[in-house]
Amino acid sequence: MFKVLERIFRDKIATEQVSLSGSQRFRGKLSGSVEESLLPKCQGACPVGAFQAEGSQYKIDYRKCIFCGKCVEACAVAALEEGREKDGLLHHSTEDAMPYLIEAGQEALADVLKEKLGRSLHVRHLDAGSCNACDFEMGALGNPYYDLHRYGVAFVASPRHADMLMVTGVVTRNLEQALKMSYEAMPEPRLVMACGACAAGGETYGDTYAIVGAADKVVPVDVYVPGCPPRPSAMIVGLLAVADMLKEKMK
Amino acid sequence: MERMAHIAQVIAPEALLETAVRVYDEGRHPLTAMFGRDETAQGTGYAIYCYFEIPEKKDMQVVKAVFDPNGSLSYQSITHAIPAAAWYEREIHDMFGLVPEGHPDLRPLVLHESFPEGFYPLRKSVKVNAKVRGERKFKVRSAKGQGLFEVPVGPIHAGIIEPGHFRFSQAGEAMLQLDAKLFFTHRGIEKAVEGKMPEEALHIVERICGACSVSNTWSFCQAVEKVAGVSVPRRAEIIRTLLSELERIVNHVGDLGNMPAGVGFNPAISLGARLKERLMRLCEAVAGNRFLRGVIVPGGVRQDITPELIEEIHSVIDATAEGVEDLATMFREQENFQNRVQTTGIIRHQTAVDLAMVGVGARASGYAHDSRSDFAFGVYPELDFQPYTKTMGDVAARLLVRIGELSASFEMVDKLLDMLRNCHGMPLHADMAYGAGEAWGICESPRGSNFHYVALDEEGRIDRLFVRSASYPNWPALTIAVQGDIIPDFPLINKSFELCYACIDR
């Protein structure tokens, strides 16, 4: 017993502030320029239809993006063939892509960290057909580095106790009913987060006989968190944004 | 790499039982995989492939039964003689409509109630996005008797875990019987990749399962490289082997932190979670993704390990090794923890053999199967690797096997880093040129051996992919391990196997 206590005290506090930037190689938000002539190549390389050419510009649908780096590779190869400069080409930045939260008008991080007490969010996780990567990252939210409880967010055992359904994975035929029933079991006001490229975009595996699609094909979705999987810090930012939305809905 | 011949012994369906039993040799040659394939376009008909491992040759033996599509689609079930075939035969029945006569439990396995009877999605006549709706019956099994009652759990669980439905038949606290309804996350991946070039399918294969991303990708790449007859440059092989060991370390450390959650031993949960997070961040530094996605590609690897990364891996692994030692001490010295894990959830050696179990689950029951020594792939032959076994077959044994394997992995990582230091600047990738052919690939995921079968057509497009992940043969063992134990021990027993759902559901 004392040995266990002694071991606990030896570790310093690991809990960190949430950061949306990753390590040097982290494939985050796309940035850089793409010459108009190279756009079709980048678009063609994208396996999930997230890279979209619009005139001379490009747009990324981060709900679908799986951050695989194929558009970046295609851009680099095509630029090399045409003998263009390498500088400033399309590349992944080390920042998490969170545009769908910002679109909803949620400047989550700064405000929420300031007033972190006085509200709570109870979450029910629902795996609708994921590869388990999102689920593992969700599990990591409880580890000493992220310590989700400090924000007043808790995972609960039943949808009947939940304010929000956190959906991971593309909705499969075998889980469609479970998703519908869990949503219907929740008390009002209720919110849904589509967490990760499968639940948010639904394009990861293409369309098959066993797949229904993204979560919003089955239940109304309030917040999309991009990533494949989203890093735990991105999930926290998403959860805090939802906590604020809930406060609005309760008014 | 030599272009390995893929020679199957082709037989008629009537001869399947007899031939399979002969090759099986009373369990000396375990059934590694069994799957169907629609070869009507090639003029062969429907086929069932049985892969038996031949340990003494470090190879596989293939038996292939061919069905005339216009003739009878029934054959005699081999499950009575080879229990490991039970799930495979159910899956082939679901996906191709080949009927194993005399199968003890021919309920649907993969396709649940919303699919109509007679819908066989892996037949080529069915479109990939066929949205067929109908109804089929699925009866969950339970034990009947005076005073017995049922506990239904899932598919949506109380914790953050994957979906599955468990039906416990209880005599008081004791679990008499457990029936598991799985395959909820079935996404039709094997059908989704058909007609795609291996590179186009890669992101899907990488996302079969989060915990086994490297393993699935590596097995798949091995198979397509064999078909193409391409050998992978040495530095790429070293990097692949290193990634595979990193994946094992992350998962085993995660499991060491997760198993105490089955008994509420919080300091150990916290320390395990802390160690795992540090490793996940290392993975992000190495691959740009916390699940090591995006490095392994057909022909080699896409990213190098720089000298700075070598040192970073070295220091994180050293720190992890210390942390694991602390965890092991905590487990050893905490008597009430030992009381819970010892003699709980036992799998006997014979059960492991009968079910052709793999990975930690098998090795904790004295069944010394580990594809790192059973087959030659990566640079494992140079690493002098020996499988680590225990014989008790209980939760404690599975915990100890993980701790033992971690030490072996730490040592191997050190050797691999040295190898990398000695071959900087060497090529990472060989060019791929595909043609028609079929081949298998295998590697050892954190859960056990991970087998892929790939058949390509003349243009190099995927005609058939079959994925048998490590959790597939081990899931049926869980339902046996719990019998007679009390239901509060279920989470602990379940976590001691730590089986993937996503991998088996595909």
* Stretches in chain B below the pLDDT threshold 70: 1-6
- Which residue, among B112, B156, B324, B329, would best test binding to A if mutated, counting the most A CBs under 10 Å from its CB? B156
* pLDDT tens-place string over residues A191-243: 899 999 999 999 999 999 999 999 999 999 988 899 999 999 999 888 887 77
* pLDDT tens-place string over residues A82-136: 777 777 788 888 888 876 665 444 444 445 444 544 567 889 999 999 999 999 9
pLDDT attached to residue A113: 41
Please say whether the beta carbons of B17 and B73 come within 8 A: no
Residue type, B405: E
pLDDT attached to residue B406: 96
How far is A162 from B37, CA to CA, in rounded Å? 45
Task: Confirm or reject contact between B306 and chain A (CB < 8 A).
Answer: no
How far is B268 from B258, CA to CA, in rounded Å? 9
> Is the CB of A205 less than 8 angstroms away from the CB of B112?
no
Task: Confirm or reject contact between B197 and chain A (CB < 8 A).
Answer: no
* pLDDT tens-place string over residues A5-29: 787 788 888 888 888 888 889 999 8
The C-alpha angle B3, B6, B12, rounded to 5 degrees, equals 165
Task: Confirm or reject contact between B199 and chain A (CB < 8 A).
Answer: no
pLDDT attached to residue A214: 94
Which chain B residue has the Cα nearest residue A69? B294
Binning pLDDT at 50, 70 and 90, where does residue A80 land?
Answer: confident
> Is the CB of A204 less than 8 angstroms away from the CB of B204?
yes
What is the three-class DSSP state of B322? helix
Instruction: Give chain A's mean pLDDT.
Output: 85
> Is the CB of A209 less than 8 angstroms away from the CB of B281?
no
Query: What is the 8-class DSSP label of residue B116?
Result: P
Please say whether the beta carbons of B265 and B392 come within 8 A: no
> Is the CB of A174 less than 8 angstroms away from the CB of B267?
no
pLDDT attached to residue B280: 95
User: Tokens 């390389």 correspond to what residue?
Assistant: A45
Distance of CA B443 to the CA centre of its chain: 9
**Single pTM value for the model:** 0.93
Task: Confirm or reject contact between B325 and chain A (CB < 8 A).
Answer: no
* pLDDT tens-place string over residues B142-166: 999 999 999 999 898 888 889 999 9
User: What residues have CB less than 8 Å from B264, skipping those under 6 apart?
Assistant: none
Q: Which residues of B touch A171 (CB under 8 A)?
A: none
Task: Confirm or reject contact between B126 and chain A (CB < 8 A).
Answer: yes
Residue A32 has pLDDT above 90, yes or no: no
| Overall size of chain A counted in residues | 251
How far is A74 from A83, CA to CA, in rounded Å? 14
Which chain B residue has the Cα nearest residue A28? B288
- The larger pLDDT score, comparing residue A190 to residue B284, is at B284
Question: Cα–Cα distances in Å, from B27 out to A228, B32, B56, B177, B367?
Answer: 41, 11, 13, 26, 12
- Which residue, among B185, B209, B280, B304, would best test binding to A if mutated, counting the most A CBs under 10 Å from its CB? B185
Residue A163 has pLDDT above 90, yes or no: no
**Torsion region of B385: left, alpha or beta (phi above 0 gives left; psi -120 to 50 gives alpha):** beta
> Is the CB of A178 less than 8 angstroms away from the CB of B121?
no
* pLDDT tens-place string over residues A33-44: 888 888 888 999
Please say whether the beta carbons of A53 and A39 come within 8 A: yes
Ramachandran angles phi, psi of A188, nearest 5°: -80, 150
Q: Which residues of B touch A172 (CB under 8 A)?
A: 184-187
